[in-house]
Amino acid sequence: MREPVERLCRSIGYQFNNLGLAETALTHRSAGSTNNERLEFLGDAILGFVIADYLYANYPAADEGQLSRLRAGLVKGDSLAQIARNLELGKFLNLGTGELRSGGHSRGSILADAVEALIAAVYLDGGYLEARRVILQLFEEKLSTLSKKSQQKDPKTRLQELLQSQKKPLPSYTIISVTGEQHEQCFTVSCRVDELDLRTEGTGSSRRKAEQDAASKFLRKIDNV
């Protein structure tokens, strides 16, 4: 038996004016021609925008490549399925008999699609700001984990602090080569601590990034010693 949708509404903190929208969002295509596929298309787009907007505002130092990677990690199917499981969303799904028998309630892709469709249903029912609020609430834990990770120190700082704590000399960074056209340059930088007889090379689109890459490899080398 499906659980009543009202309970799910309480979990996501949104009361639908038109509960039929929520029902459609929870209806897999196996259950009929009025299903959540169109809503999923819309929900995916809203979600992509709200998360992009959040990351843009909260990660002012991240370049567009980092922003894209952060977003991809947040909105990928696995993340959405996890959010669905936290909501016990499987209990509210409307599935056809085939999917019911083959365990569709717990299938990641079905759960992820339903989360996107539910987001679209909130948008159509309550507007953009309500959809935004629900999305940020659903992603609260993931966004907070991300924020903690991003506050971790960068590899160069960590390497420096590690060597200082061991009373070792600090590493020296040297540019080995710079290749490529003006705005698509690739820097190769070495990171050396002669006393330890250790040396790594890092690459990146800027000197700073190449140094961080070299420091990161240096840290891994020390860890393996």
Q: Give Rg (Cα) of the chain.
A: 24
**Residue 52 in contact with a second copy, rule: CB under 8 A:** yes
Separation CA 202–CA 106 (nearest Å): 43
The alpha carbon of 202 is separated from its chain's Cα centroid by a whole number of angstroms, namely: 26
Contact stretch for a second copy (CB under 8 A) within 16-24, 40-48, 153-161, 196-204? 40-48
**Which residues in the 128-167 window bind a second copy by CB under 8 A?**
128
Using the rule CB under 8 A, which residue among 96, 158, 186, 199 binds a second copy?
96
**Residue 45 in contact with a second copy, rule: CB under 8 A:** yes
Catalytic, 44? Answer yes
Q: Which is nearer to a second copy, 16 or 218 (CB)?
A: 16
Provide the mask over 109-128, with x wherever binding to a second copy is found by CB under 8 A and - wherever it is not: -----------x-------x
**Residue 10 in contact with a second copy, rule: CB under 8 A:** no
With b for 16 or more beta-carbon neighbours within 10 A and e for fewer, the 89-105 pattern comes to bbebbbbeeebeeeebb
At residue 171, φ and ψ (nearest 5 deg) are -70, 155
Question: What's the closest the beta carbon of residue 212 comes to a second copy, in angstroms?
Answer: 17
- The answer to whether 194 is annotated as binding is no
Site size toward a second copy, by CB under 8 A:
29
What DSSP string runs through 118-153?
Answer: HHHHHHHHH-HHHHHHHHHHHTHHHHHHHHHHHTSP
With b for 16 or more beta-carbon neighbours within 10 A and e for fewer, the 199-219 pattern comes to bbbbebeeeebbbbbbbbbbb
Contact stretch for a second copy (CB under 8 A) within 18-26, 34-42, 154-162, 169-177? 34-42
- The answer to whether 113 is annotated as binding is yes
Q: Which is nearer to a second copy, 96 or 108 (CB)?
A: 96
**Residue 181 in contact with a second copy, rule: CB under 8 A:** yes
Cross-strand partners of 188: 177, 203
Check the CA dihedral 177-181-182-184 and report its sign: negative
**Residue 211 in contact with a second copy, rule: CB under 8 A:** no
At residue 214, φ and ψ (nearest 5 deg) are -65, -40
Among residues 116, 125, 211, 213, the one annotated as catalytic is: 116
Catalytic, 141? Answer no
Binding residues for a second copy, per CB under 8 A?
29-30, 37-38, 40-42, 44-46, 48-49, 51-53, 56, 62-64, 67-68, 96, 98-99, 120, 128, 181-183
- Report, as residue numbers or ranges, the catalytic residues: 44, 116
